[in-house]
């Protein structure tokens, strides 16, 4: 297998190919998502699907490596009100990310980007970064989410609901990437009832359907444009990260 033909997926490579990638100084990307209810119209694996799709598309351009997706996230806010959600506790998720990071390091890699697809994965992943940085001082880490990787991307996600879920942006992306995971006849729009409030609320308190936003306005063309933005932003991050040196005094 030549470099041009080499898969960017860690689990499709041999030990020798992974070792060569480590020696070449490539960046490893860990997609983290969730398995959770996404309203009546989107599949439960939506967040994982997006994180993996962006990671693989970008790495295919830069030559970096993508780990198997962590498809279980911290989804406690969805509660057991609706069927479909499978959640890890924050401590459990943080521990899993730490252990994955340690094994990536053991394989010879020194740069790891955690590419997130689910909002409340932030605290456990950031906790994992603190632990890894303390235990492995030579590792370089970055946490970034597909939905706010740039201000432009963030604007696309929040235009129909600041505290969105299964909204126009996510539905448009899925219509572009895999229409079979969308049930158009089941789409329900719901306003964002969190606007202006002081406290944070579990999803069943603010949504009847499990969705927040205006997924009825979604279309595949918008999803294609949004995906291109996400991919371009991650490509830029990987290219800059590959050559970045530690700050010098």
Helices then strands (H, E): number in the chain? 8, 4
Instruction: Say whether pLDDT at 5 is over 90.
Output: no
Asked if residue 248 is part of any domain, the answer here is: no
> Which band of pLDDT confidence, cut at 50, 70 and 90, is reported for residue 43?
very high
Q: What is the mean pLDDT of residues 48-70?
A: 98
Assess contact for 226 and 167: CB atoms under 8 A: no
Instruction: Say whether pLDDT at 3 is over 50.
Output: no
Which residues on neighbouring strands pair with residue 141, listed in sequence order? Answer: 112
How far apart CA 69 and CA 55 sit, in angstroms, is 10
Q: Nearest 5°: phi and psi at 6?
A: -60, 135
Q: Nearest 5°: phi and psi at 134?
A: -75, -45
pTM of the model: 0.96
Asked if residue 119 is part of any domain, the answer here is: yes
* Total number of domains constituting the chain: 1
Q: How far is CA 140 from CA 110, 136, 204, in A?
A: 6, 9, 38
Asked if residue 50 is part of any domain, the answer here is: yes
Residue 104: closest CA among 134, 67, 62: 67
**For the chain, how many residues are written?**
249
Asked if residue 5 is part of any domain, the answer here is: no
Residue 165: closest CA among 206, 210, 196, 197: 210
How far apart CA 17 and CA 23 sit, in angstroms, is 10
pLDDT on residue 41: 98
Which residue range(s) make up the domain with 137?
10-239
Largest CA distance in the chain: 59
Q: How far is CA 178 from CA 58, 59, 90, 173, in A?
A: 18, 20, 30, 8
Work out the mean pLDDT of the chain and round it to a whole number.
97
Asked if residue 244 is part of any domain, the answer here is: no
Which residues on neighbouring strands pair with residue 87, listed in sequence order? Answer: 73
DSSP state of 4: T
Which residues on neighbouring strands pair with residue 73, listed in sequence order? Answer: 87
Q: What is the CATH number of the domain that holds 210?
A: 3.40.50.10310
pLDDT digits 0-9 by tens, 20-29: 999 999 999 9
Residue partners of 178: CB distance under 8 A and separation at least 6: 49
> Which band of pLDDT confidence, cut at 50, 70 and 90, is reported for residue 2?
very low
Instruction: Say whether pLDDT at 164 is over 50.
Output: yes
- Return the sign of the alpha-carbon dihedral for residues 176, 177, 179, 183: negative
Instruction: Say whether pLDDT at 108 is over 90.
Output: yes
Instruction: Say whether pLDDT at 115 is over 70.
Output: yes
pLDDT digits 0-9 by tens, 117-141: 999 999 999 999 999 999 999 999 9
Assess contact for 135 and 102: CB atoms under 8 A: yes
> Which band of pLDDT confidence, cut at 50, 70 and 90, is reported for residue 6?
confident
Asked if residue 104 is part of any domain, the answer here is: yes
pLDDT on residue 4: 56
Tokens coding 85: 């959600």
Instruction: Say whether pLDDT at 47 is over 60.
Output: yes
pLDDT digits 0-9 by tens, 185-214: 999 999 999 999 999 999 999 999 999 999
pLDDT on residue 116: 98
């Amino acid at each position: 297998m030549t470099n041009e033909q080499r898969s960017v997926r860690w689990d499709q490579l041999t030990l020798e190919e992974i070792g060569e990638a480590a020696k070449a100084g490539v960046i490893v990307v860990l997609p983290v998502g969730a398995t959770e209810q996404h309203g009546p119209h989107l599949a439960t694996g939506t967040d994982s699907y997006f994180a993996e799709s962006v990671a693989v598309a970008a790495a295919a351009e830069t030559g970096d490596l993508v780990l198997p997706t962590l498809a279980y996230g911290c989804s406690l806010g969805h509660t057991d009100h609706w069927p479909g959600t499978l959640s890890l506790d924050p401590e459990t998720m943080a521990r899993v990310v730490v252990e994955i990071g340690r094994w990536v390091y053991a394989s010879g890699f020194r740069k790891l980007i955690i590419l997130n697809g689910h909002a409340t994965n932030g605290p456990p992943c950031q906790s994992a970064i603190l632990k890894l940085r303390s235990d492995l001082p030579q590792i370089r880490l970055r946490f970034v989410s597909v939905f706010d990787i740039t201000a432009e991307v963030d604007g696309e996600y929040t235009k129909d609901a600041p505290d969105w879920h299964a909204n126009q942006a996510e539905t448009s992306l899925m219509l572009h990437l895999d229409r079979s995971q969308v049930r158009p006849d089941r789409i329900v729009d719901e306003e964002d009832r969190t606007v202006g409030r002081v406290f944070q609320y579990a999803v069943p308190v603010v949504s009847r359907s499990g969705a927040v936003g205006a997924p009825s306005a979604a279309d595949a063309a918008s999803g294609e444009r949004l995906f291109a933005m996400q991919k371009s932003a991650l490509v830029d991050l990987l290219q800059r990260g590959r050559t970045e040196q530690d700050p010098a005094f």
